[in-house]
Structures are given as C-alpha cells and as structure tokens.
Amino acid sequence: MTDTSNPLLADWHGPFALPPFAEIEDAHFAPAFEAALAEGRAEIAAIAEDPVPADFANTIAALELAGQRLDRVAAVFFNLSGSDSNPEREALARDLAPKLSAYMSEITNNRTLFARIEALWAVRDRLGLSPEQARVLMLYRRSFLRAGAALEGADRDRLTEIKARLASLGTQFSQNLLADERDWAMDLAEADLEGLPDWLVASARDAGAARGRPGPVITLNRSLVVPFLQHSPRRDLRERAFRAWATRGANGGATDNRGLAAEILALREERARLLGYDSFAAYKLEPEMAGTPAAVRDLLMRVWAPARARAEADATALEALMAADGLNGPLEPWDWRFYAERRRRSEHDFDDAAVKPYLSLDAMIAAAFETATRLFGLTFRPLDIPLYHPDARAWEVLRDGRHMAVFIGDYHARASKRSGAWCSTFRGQRALGGEVRPVVVNVCNFAKGAPTLLSWDDARTLFHEFGHALHQILSDVTHPFVAGTSVARDFVELPSQLYEHWLEVPEVLSRHARHVETGAPMPSELVEKLLALRNADQGFDTVEYIASALVDLDFHDGPAPADPMVRQAEVLAGIGLPHAIPMRHATPHFAHVFAGDGYSAGYYSYMWSEVMDADAFAAFAETGDPFDPATAARLERHILSAGGSQEAEALYLAFRGRMPGVDALLKGRGLDAAA
C-alpha cells in the first residue's frame, strides 16, 4: 500500500498539481523511490505477463503509462539535485544511480516483454496504427535493441553491469565538479577592484556575502569569472582565476575526475562492442541526424579552418596590444578576453560594460515572454506559490484562456547549483490517458545583484534556454515518448538556438533593453555597435567550441584512450589549436560528455543545429517580418509542437522545404570571408 503520509507518494492536489515543495523533506526521497520502484516493477510485470495477446494498447501504450509515480519522484529529486544540492541529496544520488540503472535494465532485459514488442513489430503494417503510434512502436523497439534486449547470457549480464557502473561514474563526475566549483573563491582586496566596472564589483561583493566572506570574491561561476577575465588589469589575478577555472576536476584528491573519465570511456567502448558496433561514436550517432562519425568530422573540419584563420589573425592583433603594455611574452589564455575587450573599446569605441545596465534580468525575462506572445499567442501570469528555492519564480502560461504550462525560472547562481544553464521538466506533456500539460523549468547561473544585470552572453543564454522551454510548453503529441524535447540530440538545439535570434531584433531591444535606473532605451548607436560586433571574437568562440567537439568525437571514435589527457593533448596538437585558446571544456570538467551519456559523442550537436537555426530564422527574414504569423505557425506546427513524432529531417523539411548547407552557419558566424 502506498504511504500517503509521504508527500512524494500522495496525490498532489495543489495548484496545477505541482509538487508540494514546502512539505518535501530529504528524508522522504529514499522511501519514495523504494515504493515507486516496487510499483513500477509490478506494472511492468503485469504488461509482460498479460495473457491477452499483444496489441498496441496493452503493450506500448501501457508501457507509456507505467512508472508514473517513479517518473514523478525522480523529476523532483533530480531537478533539486542539480539546482539546489546538499550532502544528503548527493549521497542519495550516488546510491540511486546503480539502482535506477538496474531497474531500466530489468525492463529492457525482460524477454517476455521484448517478445511482445517484437510480435507487434512483425505485424506492424496490419495494426492500423496512426503515424505517431507507428513511430512510437519503432522507437520502443529500437531503444530495447540498443539497450541490449537481444543479447544473451554473459553478454547481457555484462552490459547490465556496465550501465550500472556508468551511472555511478557519471554521478560522481558531476558531484566532483560541483565540489571544485563550490570550494574555490578568490578574495579581492579593495585595491584589486581597480579597473573593474561597478556592476562587477557589486556582483563580487554579493558573491562574498553569499559565502560569508568579509569582502568581494571571484568564484568559478561563469557570469563572474569571465567578466573578471575581461576587465581586470591585474594579470596575476587573471591567471590565478583562469587556472582555477581551467583545472576544475583535475586538482588531485577525492574530486579528481581524470581517472573517472578514463574508466567511462573504456566502459562505453565495451558497451558499444557488445552491441555489435565498431565504436561508441558509431553506436551513439546511429539514431541522430548526422548518422556517422565521418559526417560529424566533416562538418567540424569545414568550419575549423576559417575559424582558426580568424583566431590567429585576432591573436596577432591582441599581442600587439600586449606589447604596447610592455609585455613581450606570448599571449596566454588569461590574456585573451582582457585584450579582446580592450580591442573592442579602442577599435570600435565599444565598452561591454556599457551594455549591462540596459539588460536587467527582469527586462530580459519580459523580452523573452513578449517574443513568445507575438509569435505564438502565449501569455504569462505570475504565480505566488511555494517553490523549491526562494530564488525560483513561476508563471502560468496561457493561450486564449487555455492553460498551456507552468514555467519556473531559477536564474541566480549559488554554491548549491551545478554550473551552466539548462531546461528541464517536473512534468512532461502527453494526451495519452488524459491531457497532461507540462511543468517546465529554466535554470541559469547569473551573478546575483540588486538588480541583477546581464551581459549580452547572459541574455543570449536566457533566450536560448527559453527556446528549449517553448519546445516543452508547445508540445502537442499523444505519447510522452515523443513529447517536447524527445528528439534527436543534434536537432534538440534548433529551437533554443533559433530563439536567440529574436534577442537581436530591433523591436525587442527598443522595448526591453532600457537603462535600469533611468528607463531610457539603449542608445541606437550602442545597439548598432553591439550588433556589428556580435562576431567580433568569433574566431575564439568557434575554435574553443570545435576543439571540445573534436576531442569528444575522437575519444569515442575508436579504441578508448588509456589516458584521456594524453589523447586530448594529441588531438589539440593535431588540429593546431592556438596556444592562447583552450578547449571550452577540458576533459576533467567536460560535464556534457562525462556527467552522463547525454552529449557523449554528441557535443558537435550545437553546431549541427546551428546549420539549421540560421536558415530557419531566414525564413522569417524573407517575409520582412521577424514575427510573421504564417511562418511562426509553421514553426510551431512542424517543430515546436511536434516533438519527436517524426524524424528530425522530415520535421525540418516540412517547416522549410529544404535542408540548409554549412554556408549559412559560416555566414552567421561571420566566418564566410575567412573560408
């Protein structure tokens, strides 16, 4: 019997059936998982052992509806673990990782259940399935096969062991990284603040107060450390901050991730070979748009050459600025951002710090919301409801009076939150078994202020993550297996990267980029400079990204390296990575790749999606209206509402009528002249 005294297991009757955050205690999670796992196992057994011959309803639809309590408990726990961790949650996450992996293996290893799926597959053309049902059947069969359902005996047992170990290693990798980020801070004396813009000084003081320090500090939060590297004239402090940022996960001791990375790569290779693939990259890329490692490498290398040429030309200009300061040594990684910022000021009369007072967090949230209103008719009503952290806030999303979703924004950095920015759900959309609308959350790490001011990069991040949120909010499918962002990994970034384009629309900036104190709009000359310089340091940005993507691909395209750090160095030397540009995510803190399988052999996907996002926004530009209703309707119908109900290429073709080439990407990054 379900323990309804545990708020995680009781029915949720509060507003919008949200989790009762105010009632949930850490002690509730372990028993809730135990009960939900037991219930899930019983539901799976009932499906597998059903004496009625398999049909779509009693097998596939039943699988779709099984394990709902487990999904609900896991959504609360893992969202809180990422955004507001503590020692109790970290310990439970380590304990849960192999247990949840074992549970999933039990399902895919269930021979009777798989036989029912195979029986349906054999007669699929005679079942009268809708296109969405046919795709869901195919995806279930494929997921079972890729999970090892067809393996026998020792091979099946070994694969189960590998998946459980990988789950544990990914959890440990993430927690080690969080610990390194949480434990490091650089105290600044008053003299160390010289040359820093006022907003950065204020953010450093806020960060110090949040950590109980007597004065301002620089932490490894990107929204704090990157501006410090841009603006601090103290080269010694820039070096200290950069080295701490660059060596996360590689400091020796209990939080060192290098050994974990080596074991993860070896286990992934073994997993792929057990399943009959030549490499983990071949296994991972098979269901993606790219399809093969060769296609990924071709895209990355076509962009690499012009990006590296641009970066080398920029490095020469920055070294000249260094020489003017009396520094005759080589340009170092902790120098690049500082001198790039100085170059922008000297050559273009542009100061990045001048932009931030016009980009308050509240204004950029309003900009993202109004853009969605104009494109898709959505409105956002603030909600005064208990959430999991005081920094989080919520809105009801409506259209024509109809409830579409609850959207939660959790924007401020804190020591308990893992780094980066992401979109997740507490509940996904589905129509199967009754209409269920989603509860979506965007999590960011903006340096807190009074008010919080964003950099241009921060504002882009906010729009990016809200693009993911719209993919969930507008989802309109029957089956949860294909709802929202359940699409190919190299397609999932299309809605998010596409949405970034609206930040640059003059109408959006004129209405929302207003001075936080005076309310005056951003001066037109500042807007013009900002947009003209959008690609000013694109050589650096593209090179650091592609370097990471190529290392990720090389790690997984062939035998696993015994020492990933040696292989990383070999790859970077082989492509001629400029000395002053490190890869964006070095192996020990490459969470995209090692804190789970999500982007493993898939970090390239941001660029694959970018090939489409420039072309997709061009569809609006061609109408002369960035808010063209007909184009917005096609975007929603064929991409944002469709989830994974069709192959990604078919969805894009339905929206645009053709697939774009890499030229759109090069032009969008301002690299076409360097090609």
Residues belonging to the active site: 465
Longest dimension (CA), the chain: 83
Instruction: Write phi, then psi, for 627 (nearest 5 degrees).
Output: -115, 25
Residue type, 534: R
Alpha helices in 349-390 (DSSP H): 361-376
> Rg of the chain's alpha carbons, rounded to an integer?
25
To 5 degrees, how large is the angle CA 315–CA 319–CA 323? 175
Q: Using alpha carbons, select from 13, 176, 16 the residue that is nearest to residue 93.
A: 176
To 5 degrees, how large is the angle CA 8–CA 107–CA 128? 105
Q: Using alpha carbons, select from 146, 265, 296, 272 the residue that is nearest to residue 594.
A: 265
CA distances from 458 to 2, 184, 224, 420, 545 (A): 44, 22, 11, 11, 17
Instruction: For residues 344 and 351, give the distance between their C-alpha atoms in angstroms, rounded to a whole number.
Output: 7
Query: How many CB atoms sit inside 10 A of residue 46's CB?
Result: 12
Two structure tokens written together for 372: 């969605």
439: β partners: 406, 427
Decide: helix, strand or coil at residue 91.
Answer: helix
Instruction: Write phi, then psi, for 51 (nearest 5 degrees).
Output: -70, -15
Q: How far apart are the first and last CA of the chain?
A: 66
Two structure tokens written together for 617: 């926004």
Two structure tokens written together for 168: 């544990």
Helix (H) or strand (E) holding 671: none
Query: Please, which residues have CB within 8 angstroms of residue 377's CB and are 6 or more apart in sequence?
Result: 399, 400
